[in-house]
Structure 1
Amino acid sequence: MDDTDRQLIALLREDARLPVVALAQKLRVTRATVQNRLARLQREGQILGYTVRLKPEVEAGRVRAMMSIAVEGNHAAAVRRTLWGHAHVVALHTTNGRWDLIAELRADSLEAFDKVLNGIRQIEGIANTETSILLATDKA
């Protein structure tokens, strides 16, 4: 990955819906160059997909939390696959120390959140969890 690839990715992070022509203009390269780079980055697995970012007010009523997860033995890969398939897991991080994984969770209500927690705790290979509900978020 070179500087042009990194600049292309930065532009896509800002707005993944930018047309190829606009990306080419901003990068000062041809449209074909952008198309070829995008195809290569996707083929090589550098770009896994495109997403939508919502204004915080859109999800203001939702419950957000961070769940720290300890995994039994060598079940980490299976637990991660299962969590990635879970509709309420919006981010998943591996870490070191006491916890093996940290999952960012979202649910529509406390009642729904309680069901999410109970369901995740039943996943085979999860030894222990600790969850903190996010009350507010400050961004730098």
Structure 2
Amino acid sequence: MVAELLDETDRRLIALLRADSRLPASSLAAQLRVSRGTVQNRIERLTARGVIQGFTIRTRPELEANRVRAIMCIAIEGERSSSVVKALRGLPTVDKVHTTNGRWDLIAELDTETLREFSDTLDRIRTIEGIASTETSILLATQKL
């Protein structure tokens, strides 16, 4: 398992990069109490191994005020999970799909530009063969913990 291959320095480095992926290597090195070269080598190694899969940005929430984000809980008919996941993977407005236990088989994270696109996404998902039922909740606000 990949997590077992990470030492404490790797974990701390990843945490610092999550908070601000633009921190210079020299700043990361100072906070981790290692050399700049060590930080650069670790970032390269973590990226090459697929532990770090990319770097991204966060925008101010008011810049995305019109976006519609939601969580859709999905119940699957029989043994059709893989075909449903494959169909969901083909929809650009489905950001992530999680398998789960309990009442729902899958949880899909939806991210759309407009309510019209959101409605169209719901219509498309509901027609996927193998979906027994869905329940969707729009995310109104997100709190950073």
TM-score bracket for this pair, using the shorter chain length: 0.7 to 0.9
Between the two proteins, the alignment pairs up a number of residues equal to 140
Instruction: Find the residue that maps to 1:103 and give its secondary structure.
Output: strand
**Partner residue, 2:126:** 121
Match for residue 54 of structure 1 among 59, 68, 71: 59
Is the alpha carbon distance of 1:53 and 1:46 closer, same or farther for their aligned partners in structure 2, counting shifts above 3 Å?
A: same
**Partner residue, 1:111:** 116
Q: Which amino acid aligns with 1:90?
A: D
Structure 1: distance between partners of 2:103 and 2:131: 13
User: Could you list the per-position Cα deviations for residues 65-99 of structure 1 after superposition, in whole angstroms to 9, with x for gaps in the alignment?
Assistant: 11011234444344435434532223333211111
Q: Which amino acid aligns with 1:19?
A: P
Q: What is the CA-CA distance between 1:16 and the residue it aligns to?
A: 1.4
Instruction: Find the residue that maps to 1:66 and give its secondary structure.
Output: strand
Match for residue 36 of structure 1 among 36, 41, 56: 41
Give runs of aligned pairs for residues 1-140 of structure 1, distance below 5 A. 1-140=6-145
Deviates more, 1:86-95 or 1:46-55: 86-95
Structure 2: distance between partners of 1:54 and 1:84: 25
Structure 1: distance between partners of 2:90 and 2:44: 26
Instruction: Find the residue that maps to 1:129 and give its secondary structure.
Output: strand
Q: Which amino acid aligns with 1:119?
A: R
Q: What is the CA-CA distance between 1:100 and the residue it aligns to?
A: 1.6
Q: Work out the percentage of aligned pairs sharing the same amino acid.
A: 59
TM-score by length of 1: 0.82
Instruction: Find the residue that maps to 1:68 and give its secondary structure.
Output: strand
Structure 1: distance between partners of 2:126 and 2:35: 51
Q: What is the CA-CA distance between 1:122 and the residue it aligns to?
A: 3.1
Uncovered stretches (5+) of structure 2, i.e. residues with no partner: 1-5
Structure 1: distance between partners of 2:22 and 2:31: 14
Structure 1: distance between partners of 2:115 and 2:36: 48
